[in-house]
Each structure stands twice: as C-alpha cells, then as structure tokens.
Amino acid sequence: MEKNDWIAGGIFIALGIGIFILTIPFPSLDKGHPGPALFPNILAALFIFFGLLLGLKAKKPSVDKPLENSTAAASIPKNIGNAFFILGIIAAFMVLESWLGFLLTSFFLLFLLMKKLGTSAWKSLTLSVLVTVFVYFLFYKILRVPLSPGFLSW
Amino acid sequence: MDFIIQGLSLLFVPKVLLILAISCVYGLFVGAMPGLTATMAAALLIPFTFFMDPVPALASIVAMSAMAIFAGDIPAALVRIPGTPSSAAYTQDSFELTKQGQGEMVLGVDVVFSVIGGLIGAIILMVSAPLLAEVAMTFTTFEFFWLAALGLSATVMVSRGSQVKGALAMILGLFLSTIGVDITLGFPRFTFGSVELLNGVNFIPAMIGLFGLSEVIRNVMEPHIAYPIAKVRAGKIFYGMTALVKKYKLNITRSSLLGTFIGILPGAGADIAAWLAYAVSKRGSKEPEKYGTGSIEAIVDAGTANNACLAGAWVPAMVFGIPGDSITAIVIGVLFMKGLRPGPMIFERSPEMVYAVYFSFILANLLMIPFGYLAIKTSAQMLRVPKKILMPAILMFCMVGSFAINNSLFDVGMMLVMGIIGFFLEANGFPVAPVVLGLVLGPILEKNFMMSMIKTEWDFLPFFYRPVSAILCTLTIIIWFFPFLAAFLERAKKKNQV
C-alpha cells in the first residue's frame, strides 16, 4: 500500500498543478475579485497539500486499517483479465448499441461475459436471452426509454 | 392534521404500495448477497426513480435501504460473510451462535431489533426534523456555507481508514462538482469543448459508476467461492422475542439514540453506527467475554443501531440539504432531479411529501416483519445465485440505467470513467463516500460562498460575527483540529502512565 500511496500522492499533486494551469485563462469578477477560478484554485492547493502529506505518511509505517468488507483493499487481484473484459464490454456497448440495436448488442455482450466468467454455453445462451428481454421490457416498454432498434428497425 | 392525511393519501395508493413492495424485495435480495452494498442498490435504483413521482421515488429508496441493511444480517448468520458492511460488526457473534444451534433465534433478533431500531429512528426523525427546520429558516448564505463546510469536515473526520485519504477523496468530489458552467459568470470550467459537460458531471451515471460498476469490477476479479450455508430451521424465529425486548430495553434505547446520532453526522453511515454501538455495548455489558464468541446482546445493540442510523441520515438531508450518508446523497440528487430543493423550505412548500417520507419509514419497517421472514425462509436459495450470472446482469442494468436518463451514450462513458475511479480509489484504501458528498456539497459550498462575498463586497467578517455562523465555524474548526488534539491527549496519557 505504501508504494501505491506514493503513486496516488503524485497523481493528486499532478492533478493540483494541472488545475492551476487550466485556470490561468479563467476570467475575474469586477474590480479584479476572483471569479470562476477561485474555488478550483483552492481545491488545487488542497490536492497538492494532501498529496504531499500522503506521500510523507507513506514513508512511515502505514497505520491505515483495511476497509471493512473490501477484499480489494487487501488482496492481490487474481482475475485482472476479467476487469479489462468488463471495460471492453462497456466500450463495445457504446459502439454497437446504435448500430446493432439494443436487443442484439445486449444478448451478444451478455453471452460473451457469462461465458468468460465460466458459465456453460447453454446456460449463458438462455440467461442472455432472458436478461435482455427483461431489461428491454422494463426500460423500453414500461419506462419508455428509446433503446436503439438498430438495423432491426427495417 | 391535513398534511398528515395528505401524506398518507400520497403513500397509500396501490401503485406506490406496489413500488414499495418491489423495492423491499430488491433491497432484501441485494442486502443478502455478499459483496453487494445498499449504496450500490440505491445507485441502481435511481434510473427508475427518474421516471416516478417524488413520493414513490423517495419511498422506494427508504424501503430498499431499510431492507438491505437488515438483509445483510442473513449471510452473516448463515455463512459468516456480512451481506453489507453494516452487518460486519456482529458477523462473528451471529455465526458463532448459529454454530451453537441458535441460528433461528439470531435471525429472529435480526428482524425484530432492526424493526425496533428503524421505528425509533423514524420517530426521532419525525420529531427533530420540523424543529430543526424552523431554526434553519433563519439561515442565510453564510450559515449554509458553514453547514456545508461542517458536513464536509465531518465526512473526512469519520471516513474509514486514513483521514488524509478521506480528505483527498472529498477534494476529488469537490473538484468534479466544479466541472461545467460556473455560477458567477457562466464561464465553462474544465469542459474541454464538450457540450455534454456544460451542465456538469451528471449525478446519476456518476453514482452508478462509483457504486455499481466498481462493485462489478471488484466482484469479477475475485475467484468464485461456493459458500457452505449453515442449515437453520426458520419456523419460529419470533419465539421468545418479547422476553428479549424486555430484557434489553435499555440497550435498545441507547443504541437507537446512538445510531440516529451517528446517522445525523455527515459521512458516517450504518456501518460506523454498528461498530460504535458494538463497542459501547461491550463496554457496558455484564458479559463482555462473550463478545466475538456469540453474544446476543452484541447483535441486539449493533443491529438496532444500524437501522436507526438510516432515518438519522435523513435529518440533515431534509432539513439542511446536507446528506448524512451516501444513500441520502443519492436521495438529494433524486430530489434535485425532481425539481425539489431539500432544505427548510421543503417543510413549508411540500409538507405532505415530508409526511409521506416519515410514513414510508414507518411502513417500510413494519413491512420488514413479513418480508424479513420470507427472506429468511428463502435465504438458502438467494445465497446460491452465482456471481458469474449476477454480475453480467448488474452490468447491463448499469449501462442501460446510465443511458436512460438523457438517452445518451456519453453518460455510459461517464459511468465507465467514474467506475474506474471508484474501483482504483477503493482498491488503494480511499473511501468512496466522501467523493459523493463532495460532489453533492460542492455546489452548495461554492454558491453560498460566492453569493455571500458578492453581497458583502468581499467582506469576510459576516462569516464570523453572525451568531449561528460563529457557532458553525467554531464546530468546523474543532473538527479540523480534533485529530491533532486526540493525538496530543493520547501522548499525554501515555506519558502519565510511564
């Protein structure tokens, strides 16, 4: 956790510096009083201050208690591939939903994800259809969310 | 009296009652599933509340959260894994008693004392909120600024783990709240030319990402474990409860008050209430040696406190618009979405809705008896639902729920970014709740500060010499210096011992 705290501290300091730079062109209020830049600049200063504090504390033995019920805080990730797969599924949803339509995209992505997580092919197939139909019915039919029909709109 | 009748008539409508019942089942299921939290359940519920009227929207969140907090006790007793963090404090005691053949009684205690705690919390909410609202009516921008500052300071103070990390998480939330058009000149800040960002970070996809997607990522990374489920006969779970209520009446009073008070503190949720009630209970118990090895008294105290805490968190949310925990932060977001501004004026403008919320608490807690009983009866089946099926379904709800608010894929992208941020924060020991509170309180803090400064032509003094402002300012400063004071007192105590 200590090495991670160093990195996290560095990221927050960089974020603080970045905010300072980005707020340079922000306008001021009348009579030169600070305007839209004031609050972000205070936050940038706080990012740098607490980022430094986190880095300095990381040098000392950590007294941080692990979060309750958060195995992620303590354990080394075992299936990092699954996490990347999830991110890929979301990206694919954003690309495919308007083109393939919700029904096909949802079925296809759910099937892929269930298979990847170790569900048998038949179970994945059946459950992907069921979940897709349920979500479609709930959002499209009941809540009237305009889910894309894709090329099925022909 | 008219408002009471109006509140009841808003709630006791077949459609609202049906929504309430569905929310109860949803809360019970999520709460009973280890690894899923009540906050995640609330985040996934928001897209649905978007399409509801305010009363069913709020009632569904109340019912869902009360059920989820109770249902977290079920896997604690049966598989020694708390369903939600709120049950973690007494998981060991629950499971040890189950192993000793007292599982039926433990589950009965979980239901009955959750109901009692929830009802007492609701009564305190009903009594204290209108009184505080009258005081809050006199507040100006100066007091609201300090209230927001006090809320944020308390959030950092009570954040789990390191306070430095809590502070950084809160500042991140505050920074996210600055994205979009600023309130003084209408200048676009950190939008990078994106039209979608002009209105700021959309609260709903942000919540779904922080609490929903991050949980999905965390769960799929963990290896699949089939829990050995303890077999418990759940036929007469309420047998002997009257005697236990009589025996522990003082514990009930103490823990309900403590739980509600913890709920009122911004940032402190039901898990902290349970841990504190557990610690206080152990200190005051005649049998402290039983704690951790199967103490029914521990379960009574902590189980009462975590449910009382829920209603407590609604006090600052409704009266001041300052959320008491992550769930009420979501509630405030829902209220804004409905065009309602939480704060003292809501008691004047929509008193019938306030009463409907009170009655939602009462009703949700009373419904916990039959619904809780059914959940216990079906718990073995619920706990067998594999995550490899559940997680893809939740992910689909996250994506479609984010899309549904503006029918925009940009919001799905926003959910993705916030999910990654939430996951990395939690994986590195940063609490996520302060991010949400920062996101909600940021605009209140900035708006009230800038309005005050423009009003007084940049004179800072009114922030300090107005009586209520001065009190709130002093409290905020005390909170800032409390860690240093505590460390100093600790050192002094150690020196004296040497």
**How far B361 CA sits from the closest chain A CA (Å)?**
26
Higher pLDDT, B383 or B294: B294
Q: What per-residue confidence (pLDDT) applies to A51?
A: 95
Nearest CA in chain A to B412: A94
In this structure, are A6 and A59 located in the same domain?
yes
Task: Please name which of B161, B31, B34 lies closest in space to residue B429, comparing C-alpha atoms.
Answer: B161
Is it the case that residue A148 has pLDDT exceeding 60? yes
In this structure, are A90 and A138 located in the same domain?
yes
Q: Could you tell me if residue A121 is inside a domain?
A: yes
Higher pLDDT, A142 or B305: B305
3-state secondary structure of A72: helix
- The count of structural domains within chain A is 2
Q: What per-residue confidence (pLDDT) applies to A154?
A: 55
Nearest CA in chain A to B393: A131
Tokens (6 digits) for B133: 């609202």
Contact between A90 and B399 using a beta-carbon 8 Å cutoff: yes
pLDDT band of residue A69 (cuts 50, 70, 90) is: very low
pLDDT band of residue A77 (cuts 50, 70, 90) is: low
**How far B269 CA sits from the closest chain A CA (Å)?**
13
Q: What per-residue confidence (pLDDT) applies to A110?
A: 96
Domain that holds residue A108: 85-142
How many other CB atoms sit within 10 Å of the CB of residue B333? 23
Chain B contact probe: residue of A5, A21, A43 with most B CBs at under 10 A: A43
In this structure, are A54 and A12 located in the same domain?
yes
Of B160, B187, B271, the CB nearest to A36: B187
In this structure, are A91 and A59 located in the same domain?
no
Task: Please name which of B275, B367, B354, B341 lies closest in space to residue B314, comparing C-alpha atoms.
Answer: B354
Higher pLDDT, B168 or A145: B168
Task: Please name which of B32, B25, B28 lies closest in space to residue B75, comparing C-alpha atoms.
Answer: B32
Q: What per-residue confidence (pLDDT) applies to A66?
A: 46
In this structure, are A11 and A57 located in the same domain?
yes
Q: Calculate what percentage of chain A has a pLDDT beyond 70.
A: 84
Chain B contact probe: residue of A2, A20, A28, A39 with most B CBs at under 10 A: A39
Sign of the torsion angle spanned by Cα atoms B35, B41, B43, B45 = positive
pLDDT in tens, B137-177: 888 999 999 989 998 888 888 776 688 999 999 999 999 99
**How far B446 CA sits from the closest chain A CA (Å)?**
7
**How far B217 CA sits from the closest chain A CA (Å)?**
5
Write down the number of H helices and E strands in chain A: 6, 0
Is it the case that residue A65 has pLDDT exceeding 70? no
Nearest CA in chain B to A79: B221
What's the whole-number mean pLDDT along residues B93-106? 87
Q: Could you tell me if residue A30 is inside a domain?
A: yes
Q: What per-residue confidence (pLDDT) applies to A71?
A: 43
Backbone φ and ψ for B454, nearest 5 degrees, come out as: -65, -40
Higher pLDDT, B178 or B271: B178
Q: Could you tell me if residue A71 is inside a domain?
A: no
How far apart (Å, rounded) are the C-alpha atoms in residues B229 and A93?
37
Contact between B221 and A80 using a beta-carbon 8 Å cutoff: yes
Is it the case that residue A67 has pLDDT exceeding 50? no
> According to DSSP H, which parts of B338-407 are helical?
345-349, 351-377, 379-383, 387-406
**How far A23 CA sits from the closest chain B CA (Å)?**
8
In this structure, are A9 and A59 located in the same domain?
yes
Higher pLDDT, B282 or A63: B282
Neighboring chain A residues of B431 at a CB cutoff of 8 Å: 67
In this structure, are A8 and A58 located in the same domain?
yes
pLDDT band of residue A74 (cuts 50, 70, 90) is: very low
In this structure, are A102 and A133 located in the same domain?
yes
Least-confidence region, from A33-42, A81-90, B375-384? B375-384
pLDDT band of residue B225 (cuts 50, 70, 90) is: low
For residue B142, the cross-strand partners are: none
ipTM for the predicted complex comes to 0.88
Is it the case that residue B487 has pLDDT exceeding 80? no
Q: Could you tell me if residue A56 is inside a domain?
A: yes
For residue B188, the cross-strand partners are: B181
Contact between A113 and B178 using a beta-carbon 8 Å cutoff: no
Neighboring chain A residues of B51 at a CB cutoff of 8 Å: 143-144
Of A57, A82, A97, the CB nearest to B221: A82
pLDDT band of residue B100 (cuts 50, 70, 90) is: confident
Q: Could you tell me if residue A73 is inside a domain?
A: no
Neighboring chain B residues of A135 at a CB cutoff of 8 Å: 396-397, 400
Q: What per-residue confidence (pLDDT) applies to A61?
A: 54
Of B82, B168, B458, the CB nearest to A33: B458
Stated length of chain A = 154
Q: Could you tell me if residue A48 is inside a domain?
A: yes
Of A4, A69, A85, the CB nearest to B82: A69
In this structure, are A128 and A89 located in the same domain?
yes
How far apart (Å, rounded) are the C-alpha atoms in residues B436 and B40?
12
pLDDT in tens, A103-119: 999 999 999 999 999 89
What's the whole-number mean pLDDT along residues B74-96? 85
* Cβ–Cβ under 8 Å, residues B168 and A15: no
Is it the case that residue A63 has pLDDT exceeding 80? no
What's the whole-number mean pLDDT along residues B119-131? 93
What's the whole-number mean pLDDT along residues B263-290? 86
What's the whole-number mean pLDDT along residues A43-64? 83
In this structure, are A7 and A57 located in the same domain?
yes
3-state helix, strand, coil in chain A (%, to 5): 75, 0, 25
Q: Could you tell me if residue A153 is inside a domain?
A: no
* Cβ–Cβ under 8 Å, residues B109 and B68: no
Neighboring chain B residues of A128 at a CB cutoff of 8 Å: 392
Contact between B396 and A106 using a beta-carbon 8 Å cutoff: yes
What's the whole-number mean pLDDT along residues A134-143? 89
Is it the case that residue B321 has pLDDT exceeding 50? yes
Q: What per-residue confidence (pLDDT) applies to B243?
A: 92
Sign of the torsion angle spanned by Cα atoms A143, A145, A146, A152 = negative
**Which of A66-75, B25-34, B255-264 has the highest mean predicted lDDT (pLDDT)?**
B255-264
Higher pLDDT, B414 or B80: B414
Of B218, B389, B399, the CB nearest to A72: B218
Contact between A57 and B175 using a beta-carbon 8 Å cutoff: no
Of B162, B178, B388, the CB nearest to A118: B388
Q: Could you tell me if residue A114 is inside a domain?
A: yes
Of B164, B392, B415, the CB nearest to A110: B392
pLDDT in tens, B19-70: 999 999 999 988 888 777 888 888 888 888 888 888 999 999 999 999 999 9
**What's the mean per-residue pLDDT of chain B?**
88
pTM of the model: 0.86
Chain B contact probe: residue of A22, A54, A86 with most B CBs at under 10 A: A86
What's the whole-number mean pLDDT along residues A63-68? 47
Contact between B190 and A22 using a beta-carbon 8 Å cutoff: yes
